[in-house]
Amino acid sequence: MDLEKLKTRRLAILLVGIPMLLAVIYYSFFALDRYVSVAQVAVRQTGSNDAPQIPGLAVMMGGLNPASREETLYLREFILSNDMLKVLQKELQWPEHYAKFWRDPLFWLNKNAPQEDILKYYQRMVKPHFDEQTGLLAVEVQAFTPEFAEATLKVILAESERFVNELSHRMAREEMTFAQQELAKAREEYELRRDALLEFQGASNLLDAEAAAKARAMVISDLEAQLTKERAALKGLTATLSADTPQVRQQRNKIRALEQQLESENRRLVAQQTGGEKLNVVASRYRSLTIDATIAEEAYKFAVSSVETARIEASKKLRSLVTVVSPNTPDTALYPQRIYNLFTLLVGLLLFYGIARFVIATVEDHRD
């Protein structure tokens, strides 16, 4: 029985006593106070009406619409990226601050450590949290002095603002560049079609070949009506006069002249299979060129309108970083939470001790 108690006591000391003693020693003599500076920001854009409402100071800022979730998540990843760390290393010599406090073994950083290790440590000390309901991004920075925590957070926010502005302006520039490229193509096509039409008008010596063809058709129609009328008059004359009378011969000459004129006009208007550039062919080509030029002109007008629309839409989509809660200078250290951590560790160790005793008892029962 005494042996059983001894085993139980040893197990308790091993699983609970020793880890708790080490934790008490660490939190009493080695753990350094870490100060936390916090700020809350939001990415805003004009022309968005489908995002959640943001209370507090953000509501007071008129003209700003709720944040875009996608851009805010981009910003969160950028804050945790190596690019942001390089900015901090350049402006604040960021690793040197944490390398000075070597007494805390769990939070000491070797300033000569590989960049990958420095990045992992940076991501432990900088925590951006995105709130799905409000759309706010809370950025928390831990440091061993209040001033350095605040300075680090200010640099992060300044670089974040530059990132958001560059991202939104890049999107706007891409939209405008695409619209302007389409406008240049439409203008080039329009000028090409217009020049082709002008060249054809100069070659055919006709300003409007289609109108000329219609006028020629009206002339032919008038000639046919006049010829029909004169033929009817000839029939009337031959009914009362002989064929060799001057009146009949004159009427026949008149009819012959009309027929020759009509035939000439028809040859000029209608192209035969072996004919050349007849007026109907010229009018058909003119009509085709006119349609092409009109389509190109409408496309050019639409492209001009598209550029203006793209400019307006791009200006509406410009984003900015709004600081809802400014970085603070902490007065007291938030971490480590010694009593809370020790109590949590004790509860965890006791649970682990209970599970270990249960497992050992089960094994011994199976042996018996």
Residue range 27-63, pLDDT digits in tens: 889 999 999 999 999 988 755 444 444 444 443 344 3
278, 217: one domain:
yes
**Res. 367: pLDDT tops 80:** no
344, 244: one domain:
no
Residue 83 lies in a domain: no
Q: Which of 15-19, 118-122, 213-217, 325-329 has the lowest mean pLDDT?
A: 213-217
Residue 288: name the closest of 191, 209, 185, 188 by CA.
209
Residue 278 lies in a domain: yes
Structure tokens at 72: 């805010």
272, 308: one domain:
yes
Residue 32: name the closest of 315, 351, 338 by CA.
338
Query: How many whole angstroms separate alpha carbon 64 and alpha carbon 43?
Result: 10
The larger pLDDT score, comparing residue 252 to residue 348, is at: 348
Residue 32: name the closest of 109, 90, 89, 87 by CA.
109
**Res. 189: pLDDT tops 70:** yes
Total domains present in the chain = 2
360, 279: one domain:
no
What pLDDT is attached to residue 142? Answer: 95
Residue 91 lies in a domain: no
What pLDDT is attached to residue 67? Answer: 44
**Res. 77: pLDDT tops 70:** yes
Residue 59 lies in a domain: no
**Res. 336: pLDDT tops 70:** yes
What pLDDT is attached to residue 235? Answer: 77
244, 275: one domain:
yes
Q: What is the DSSP letter of 270?
A: S
300, 360: one domain:
no
242, 343: one domain:
no
Residue 326 lies in a domain: no
Residue 96 lies in a domain: no
Contact between 97 and 34 (Cβ < 8 Å): no
Domain that holds residue 201: 185-314
pLDDT band at residue 202 under the 50/70/90 scheme: low
The helix-helix angle for 209-240 and 279-316 (nearest 10°) equals 150
Contact between 322 and 61 (Cβ < 8 Å): yes
192, 310: one domain:
yes
Stretch 337-347: mean pLDDT, rounded? 92
Stretch 86-106: mean pLDDT, rounded? 91
Q: How far from 298 is each of 160, 227, 291, 303, CA to CA, in Å?
A: 44, 46, 11, 9
What pLDDT is attached to residue 53? Answer: 43
The residues near 319 (Cβ < 8 Å, ≥ 6 apart) are 43, 44, 45, 68, 71, 164, 165, 167, 168
292, 196: one domain:
yes
What pLDDT is attached to residue 216? Answer: 66
Q: Give the N- to C-terminal CA distance of the chain in Å, as an integer.
A: 16
Give me the residue label for tokens 């492209």: 303
* SS3 call for 139: strand
Read off the pLDDT of residues 242-256 as tens digits, 9 standing for 90 and up.
Answer: 777 887 778 778 888
268, 352: one domain:
no
194, 239: one domain:
yes
194, 262: one domain:
yes
Residue 87 lies in a domain: no
- Average pLDDT of the chain to the nearest whole number: 80
Q: Determine what percent of the chain is predicted with pLDDT higher than 70.
A: 80
Query: How many whole angstroms separate alpha carbon 15 and alpha carbon 352?
Result: 8
Query: How many whole angstroms separate alpha carbon 185 and alpha carbon 74?
Result: 34
Residue 117 lies in a domain: no
Q: Determine what percent of the chain is predicted with pLDDT higher than 90.
A: 30
Stretch 116-128: mean pLDDT, rounded? 95
Query: How many whole angstroms separate alpha carbon 59 and alpha carbon 86?
Result: 34
The amino acid sitting at 260 is: Q
Contact between 22 and 128 (Cβ < 8 Å): no
What pLDDT is attached to residue 55? Answer: 46
Contact between 143 and 42 (Cβ < 8 Å): no
